[in-house]
Amino acid sequence: MPSTPSKTLETFPNPKPERDFHIHMEVPEFTCLCPKTGQPDFATLSIDYIPDKACVELKSLKLYMWSFRDEGHFHEDVTNRILDDLVKATKPRFMRLTAKFYVRGGIFTNVVAEHRKKGWQPAPRVDLTQFEHQSNILG
């Protein structure tokens, strides 16, 4: 097999560091083990971030996520650990990790963890729906 799991997260330079832009990634096949039973836990992870100087390289992210497959973790622990590792590697302006774990014992678990670079504030949100509504009325 050409690839193996790895805890190394590689990065590349942000191609537009002077601009805030949003990167969204989904990992629909995340697995780890329940630390109590050893049974597999499945989750979809959503990573949303605004990079500063570096972006995470996708192949290394895939191999990193794969490295949890045979490890036992509570949902809260693994979500925060992954966020901490991603923040350490990329040092983003903002990052949110949402982990949506599939049902276990009749309970769905969603864990959301965030990082915000000290002093960074997002630009005000631009809402274009009001203009769409006006053009539908006038048009």
Residue-by-residue pLDDT tens, the chain, 139 positions? 568 999 999 999 999 999 999 999 999 999 999 999 999 999 999 999 999 999 999 999 999 999 999 999 999 999 999 999 999 999 999 999 999 999 988 899 999 999 999 999 988 888 888 766 665 655 5
Which residues are marked as active site? Answer: 34, 41
Contact 12, 59 (CB under 8 A): no
Q: What is the DSSP string of 53-65?
A: SEEE-HHHHHHHH
Reported residue count of the chain is: 139
Report pTM: 0.88
Residue 131 identity: F
Sketch out the chain's domains with CATH numbers.
11-138 (3.30.1130.10)
Q: For 1-138, where are the alpha helices, taking DSSP H only? A: 58-66, 75-90, 129-138
